[in-house]
A and B are shown apart, each in its own frame.
Chain A
Amino acid sequence: MSTSEATKAPRRPLLSLDTWAVIAASGLVLATLIGTLPRIPW
């Protein structure tokens, strides 16, 4: 995030970045548990 972006007047988010991250992680964990996600090697 650039300095100017960080100090702009805040908008009213319906979902925060943290919530997005937790939702996405929950989806990935669930998909891994039920086996719908293809194995992704590192």
Chain B
Amino acid sequence: MSFATTADQAGPALPRRLIELVPGIGLLFIIGYGGKLVEQSISTYGKANHLALPNFEYVLWAIIIGLVVANTVGVPKIFRAGVATYEFWLKLGIVLLGVRFLLGDVLKLGGISLVAVALELGLSIILMTWLGNLFRLTPKLTSLLAIGSSICGVSAIIAAKGAINAKDEDASYAIAAILALGAVGLFAFPVIGHLLGMSDHAYGLWAGLGIDNTAEATAAGNLWSEQAGKVAVLAKTTRNATIGFVVLAYAIYWATRGEAQTIANKGVFLWQKFPKFILGFLVVSLLATLGVFAKEQSADIANLSRWAFLLTFAGVGLSTDLREMRKQGLYPFIVGAAGELGIAVLTLLIVLAVQPWLPT
């Protein structure tokens, strides 16, 4: 990650690297805040003129502005390092969002999510593997697509790439397909959700299960409502928590075929791959449950989480390069698209099945 300190860069270089992030973070803020202003302006205009205008959350505007900038004028080099921090803001936002969850709710919703995730994992791996074989993709590209679509997109593909000795090219294909399809899902899920008249909880669970990249799943949830955004984050982080287990299973599979290194200590491997920000989220949620925060303090922390997400959503738009996606091959994209469509339908059926246990 662009601003993580590295062994050879620690020391005097760090302040300079942090300063390099400022322009891009400024751009994230301007675009995110621009989205917020558009939402407020439409709402104010509607009220002033007694018009019932549809309320599109700022999330949509921030992503659209970012997409337009990235795919027309492009993102100049001076901004790129800062723009790449959007994943940091996403994780910071999720940790702080813990203040809005009581631990009991996390365990209850997380438990329902876990059952749904287990079903989603199994079904999507089977579906992707079948499609990959059908279109004669390389077995490792198929593995990467299956891992990316079943768990958490880009992070899972990067984690798996090293573990199964996959080629850079295969990883690039898989990442491009997952990101392109995530962008489609981001806009398609709310429309389908409205057509089906889904509740906040059901829609949030569907977005968290069906959309692969955490940033896009969070954005899709928040596009619907803040409550749906919370549920989407919870379902998605439950999926993320399984990353180590699935990557380990694939690593063992490829190691037994002599095409990947054997993993000596599986416990250490699982800990290394576990997304640690989830622990931060649980600790903040525990503190909130124990009543450590006064009401105003909880509200302040929740607001900080919203600001962190505002930067994230601008970054999602700015980082979606449609031209680069067009350069990727057609078959991986077809496999990815068919697989994602199948997974969207499967996860929708799962959500409808567990709906009786969801809060209303």
Name the distance in Å between A5's Cβ and chain B's nearest Cβ.
7
B284 engages A13 (CB within 8 Å): no
| In-complex Cβ contact of B10 among A5, A7, A14 (8 A) | A14
Task: Check A14/B4 contact, CB under 8 A, given A3-B324, A21-B95, A28-B96.
Answer: yes
Known contacts being A3-B172, A3-B175, A14-B7, is A19 close to B307, with CB within 8 Å? no
Known: A4-B172, A5-B84. A16 touches B96 (CB 8 A): no
Residues from chain A with Cβ under 8 Å of B172 in the complex: 3-4, 6-7
Q: Is the CB of B162 within 8 A of A25?
A: no
Q: How many A-B residue pairs have CB under 8 A?
A: 114
Known A6-B175, A10-B162, A14-B5; judge A25-B96 contact (CB<8 A): yes
What 0/1 readout, one digit per residue, does chain B (305-337) give for beta carbons within 8 Å of chain A?
Answer: 011000000000001010010001000000000
B307 touches A1 (CB 8 A): no
Interface residues on B, range: 35 or more
Q: Mark A1-36, 1 if CB is under 8 A from B, else 0.
A: 111111100111111111111101110110011000
From B4, B99, B280, give the contact of A16 (CB < 8 A). B4
Q: Does B195 lie at the interface of the complex (its beta carbon under 8 Å from any beta carbon of A)?
A: no
Contact A42 B307 (CB under 8 A): yes
Q: A22-B280, A32-B301 are in contact. Are A1 and B306 (CB under 8 A)?
A: no
Known: A3-B172, A11-B9. 7 other contacts (CB 8 A): A3-B175, A3-B328, A6-B171, A11-B4, A17-B1, A18-B277, A21-B88
